[in-house]
Amino acid sequence: MIKKSVICFFVLICFSAIKANELNSNDQIRYQSLIQEVRCLVCQNQSVAESNAELAKDLRREIKLQIQDGKSNSEIKKYLLDRYGEFILYEPAFTQKTLFLWFSPIILLLMFYGWFRKIGN
Amino acid sequence: MIRRLLPLFIFLLLLGFLFQSLYNKDTELPSPLIGKPIPAFNLKNLITEEEHSSHEIIGEVSLINVWATWCVGCEMEHEFLVDLSQDKRIDLPIIGLNWKDDDRLAKLWLKQLGDPYSIVLKDPKGKAAIDFGVYGAPETFLVDSSGIIHFKHIGPLNREIFERDILPLIGELN
């Protein structure tokens, strides 16, 4: 059983190496990090990289094609944002709408700091 | 006194937020495409295999309905779409976008369940669907005569939703 799974593992590695050849190594790194930033909209909190859903596959293919076309990361993200909205990216853009979201940890931290100091006194 | 009650107040506030999100059915995402023109595409007609561009299909207030035979929700809404297409009082062409489907099954489906569409374009690779921001069929878009998207419904359409959300908009657009 273990032997089988080891063989299986190496076979898979070989295949993934073949697939990776489609992009050059730099682009491959970009591709891998990009697809982890894109949310699979039909799954329960999985990125497009992790999901096997059809839509995730399509989005991976689209991202790969755009990398091959020489598009930059921000161009690809804009493409997705224009179609699917803010929700598709895990990291929300820094806009007026998300200002509170971005600063809330700092606000909370300051609040707790003040509170603890008061207790200490 | 107020100072001692402050943590309790914060706690209750937090509880309020948590309860709200517990009952918040916020699963329908707003589409950034509302108010924008439909994406450009060139797609083949399911029946005639003729290629059509996005410009060719606009010109009237119409619905664009994303469907597939593998989609359960599409089966649920299909009867309503057929009724709608036969409704003499409502002049609303329905453009079908057959998403990642098998041609043979799609044609069979239309033959057996009725064909509500003025035209069915096929998107076998799902590229046009991505441009439409589709993430699950069925999805239905209301488009005006110049191709601007005014409304998007995610999930099976029925008479109730149609009369509540779409019909008033059609009145405004015509």
CB-CB under 8 Å, B130 with A85: no
CB-CB under 8 Å, B127 with A54: no
Reading chain B (174 residues) residue by residue, the pLDDT tens digits are 777 888 888 899 999 888 887 776 655 567 888 999 999 999 999 999 999 999 988 889 999 999 999 999 999 999 999 999 999 888 899 999 999 999 999 999 999 999 999 999 999 999 999 999 998 889 999 999 999 999 999 899 999 999 999 999 998 887
Residue B97 within a domain: yes
Query: A84 and A99: one domain?
Result: no
Residue A22 phi/psi, 5° resolution?
-65, -30
The predicted complex's ipTM stands at 0.75
CB-CB under 8 Å, B31 with A82: no
> Using only C-alpha atoms, what is the Rg of chain A?
21
Query: A83 and A99: one domain?
Result: no
Query: How many structural domains are present in chain B?
Result: 1
CATH assignment of the domain containing B116: 3.40.30.10
B132 close contact with A: CB closer than 8 A: yes
A82 → closest Cβ in B32, B100, B129: B32
**Domain region containing B150:** 35-173
- Residue among B103, B100, B95 at smallest CA distance from B62: B95
**Dihedral sign (CA A24, A19, A44, B11):** negative
Cα(A76)–Cα(A36) distance, rounded to whole angstroms?
A: 13
Look up residue B70 and give its amino acid: W
Residue B29 within a domain: no
**Helix A54-68 × helix A73-84 angle, to 10°:** 140
- Sorted by sequence, the CB contacts under 8 Å of residue A86 that are 6+ apart come out as A92, A93, A98
B125 close contact with A: CB closer than 8 A: yes
Look up residue B97 and give its amino acid: L
CB-CB under 8 Å, B129 with A62: no
**Domain region containing A109:** 95-121
Query: A39 and A72: one domain?
Result: yes
Query: How many structural domains are present in chain A?
Result: 2
CB < 8 Å from A in window 97-116 of B: 100
Residue A6 phi/psi, 5° resolution?
-65, -45
